[in-house]
Amino acid sequence: MSDVLLFPFAVTWWLYIAFTVFVIMMLFLDLGVFHKKAHVVSIKESAIWSGTWFTLALIFNYGFYYYALSTFPTDPRLNAVPGFDAVVAAKQVGLEFLTGFIIEKSLAIDNIFIFVVVFSYFAVPAIYQHRILFFGIIGALIFRAIFIALGASLLQYHWVVLIVGGFLIITGIKILIAPEKVPDPGSNSLIKLVKKFVPVTSVIQGQNFFIRQNGLLYATPLFLALVFIEFSDIIFAIDSVPAIFAITKEPLIVFTSNIFAILGLRSLYFLLAGVVDKFRFLKYGLGLILIFVGLKMTWLNAIFGGKFPVLWSLGIIGIILLGSIIISLVVKPRIDLNPSSKK
């Protein structure tokens, strides 16, 4: 397909605004209506919300495809491109959104592991975890929008594409060969910096991020947990945003697919938090996915005339993801018969 953007911001700015308004409305319903009162999120509730977000993403995907199918044939800018096929382009748009959504959703599994560690370290009661993740998601949406805007500008240059692709390959290899290391929030430089400038109380008093004691403002462990989660998401965004740009050059597709995946992250956490450790081989699948998208940026796109088939990308990523999950469930962990050997 042509290098011409299908959804230039100057033409489709209203789509960005409409989508952002939709996201704000959903977030308001989430915290202001369904979770107005702090409570422990049940497995049933998280399953319903996970299904809701996934269904909304699929509905949006179809609407996105239908919008492209109805507007591309009448767009004089696109019809002036030699060999442009509106139907093929619309199908491509739908597949790119779906592939980007699946990539971001799979990479988000690592975030769930971080959530488990952070909530355990700061001893955050289950009743307040949704509130922290809610504000964490808002911060993630803002930072992702910034990252996507930067990516759309920088990835126009081929040498930047090669550097980012190489970075994804190296990151994927590190995931495959590096020993698994449990993050330690207490040793995080950002957490230490916050404690240096903001007095922190060790006591959790309700759902407050800050409290006043003796006329002084103190941060609570809930605020430290939020800071660490925001910091972790920024680190993960360095991988996930370029990974979707490896599938599509359309910032609108990157933005919407990324945001939809993030919106369902909280419910996915409450659904999988208790079993995430059972998917032992999933990290290797994620490593292979990053290597694949890195190769796509640095090599595969070039040998396929500038665009590796998105349907193939979707199939490869789906096989890797599903395979790593199946292997995790089938292959049982080895039991160490000599516990003293770990000492």
Supply angle C-alpha 25, 250, 289, rounded to 5. Answer: 95
Residue 111 structural domain: 9-330
Residue 199 forms part of a structural domain:
yes
Residue 343 forms part of a structural domain:
no
Q: What's the rounded Cα separation, in Å, for the pair 84 and 89? A: 8
Please compute Rg for the chain using Cα positions.
22
Residue 4 forms part of a structural domain:
no
Name residue 173's amino acid. Answer: I
Contacts of 56 (CB under 8 A, 6+ apart): 260
Contacts of 288 (CB under 8 A, 6+ apart): 172, 176, 320, 324
The predicted pLDDT at position 67 comes to 95
Positions of E strands within the chain: 210-213, 216-219
**Residue-wise pLDDT tens for the chain (343 aa)?**
556 889 999 899 999 999 999 998 888 887 667 767 777 788 888 888 889 999 999 999 999 999 999 999 999 889 888 888 999 999 999 999 999 999 988 887 778 888 888 888 888 988 899 889 888 888 888 888 999 999 999 988 889 999 999 999 999 999 899 877 777 787 888 888 888 888 988 888 888 899 988 888 899 999 999 999 998 888 888 888 999 999 999 999 999 999 999 888 888 888 887 677 778 888 899 899 999 999 999 999 888 888 899 999 999 999 999 999 899 889 877 655 454 444 4
Residue 139 forms part of a structural domain:
yes
Contacts of 290 (CB under 8 A, 6+ apart): 107, 168, 169, 171, 172, 175, 239, 243
Distances (CA, A) of 75 to 5, 11, 78, 84: 12, 11, 6, 11
Residue 1 forms part of a structural domain:
no
Residue 340 forms part of a structural domain:
no
Residue 112 forms part of a structural domain:
yes
Q: What's the rounded Cα separation, in Å, for the pair 272 and 43? A: 9
Residue 80 forms part of a structural domain:
yes
Q: What's the rounded Cα separation, in Å, for the pair 27 and 34? A: 10
Exposed/middle/buried for residue 58 (C-beta within 10 Å: 0-12, 13-18, 19+):
middle
C-alpha torsion angle, residues 271, 275, 273, 175 (rounded to 10):
-120
Q: With a threshold of 0.75, does the pTM exceed it?
A: yes
Please tell me the total count of domains within the chain: 1
For residue 145, the tally of other CB atoms under 10 A from its CB is 16
Q: Tell me: the pLDDT tens digits for 71-114?
A: 999 998 898 888 889 999 999 999 999 999 999 888 877 788 88
